[in-house]
Amino acid sequence: MPSLSDRIRLLRGSVFAVSLSLAVAGAFGTNAFALSELQQIPGQPPQQQQSEQPASDQPPAEAEPEAEQSEPLQLPMPDPLIRRDATTTDTAEPPEEKQATQPETPVEVIYDIEKVPEPVRRMRELIVEAAASGDIERLRPLLGKGPTQTQVSVVDGDSDPVTTLRGLSGDSEGIEILAILLDVLATGFVRVDAGTPNETYVWPYFVEKSLDTLSPPEKVELLRIVTAGDFADMQEFGGYNFYRAGISPDGQWKFFVAGD
């Protein structure tokens, strides 16, 4: 009969053998399970076997084509606050201002008295001679009578023209008005209402020319007739408003007046 110590050794050996068997069986069992997944299982169709493969081993599915993107929705633009069509008047600039900005029609200024009809040249020469004499009465035969009487005032009246001119002068003899008449007839002149019954040769040409367009020499010519203060007042008024003289093509002295 074995002793107690021999039985303990046999018991320890049995426990070690069982533990070793379990460890070996666990190791090989795990590997067998892993290998069974890679090997084909007998009696099972290949397609079914492949479907049981892990998802990580399956080839990636082809990406479905993206749906064709539709164009973004186009919203209409809001109507403008100010419509500019054929039925709407442009209110940005009144018609009067547009006309004011249009270029001025060039004024033909005449200095050569030989370019006018002979009756005009003759009447102008007679007026200059009478005014230069210093005797205002020498203007009387040139002023006419009745319907052909020269207009010497913007106010219609039957007063004697010589008396009227003398009253307009700064002196009692009418010398100042004679000097003004000479200065006016010494400037350039213009032809107005050409080809009509009212055709007239008018001195000075400033009557028809915008004062804002005067050149420096023209301003000098104007200031031989008026003062700088008068010129400033005319610019504010909007045009020349001092004395002017007019002679018709047939030699009639039509007017010698001041004002508009």
Domain ranges of the chain: 1-30, 113-257
> Residue 204, preceding bond cis, omega within 30 degrees?
yes
Least confident of 106-115, 152-161, 191-200: 152-161
Report which of residues 70 and 142 the model is more confident about: 142
Helix/strand/coil for 241: coil
Q: Which of 43-57, 144-158, 205-219 has the least mean pLDDT?
A: 43-57
Determine the pLDDT at residue 129. 98
**Which pLDDT score, from 0 to 100, does residue 82 have?**
40
Tell me the C-alpha distance between 128 and 112, whole Å: 16
Lowest mean pLDDT among 130-134, 145-149, 200-204: 145-149
pLDDT at 149: 94
Q: In whole angstroms, what separates CA 188 from the centre of its chain?
A: 38
Low-confidence winner among 157-166, 201-210, 222-231 (lowest mean pLDDT): 157-166
> Is the model's pLDDT at 75 over the cut of 70?
no
Tell me what the pLDDT averaged over the chain comes to: 77
C-alpha closest to that of 117 among 185, 183, 194: 194
Q: What is the pLDDT of residues 26-58, one digit of tens each?
A: 544 444 444 444 445 445 555 544 444 544 555
Q: Note whether 218 and 208 are within 8 A (CB).
A: no
Between 230 and 56, the higher pLDDT residue? 230
Using CA of residue 74, residue 80, residue 81, residue 85, what is the dihedral sign?
negative
Residue 258 has pLDDT above 60, yes or no: yes
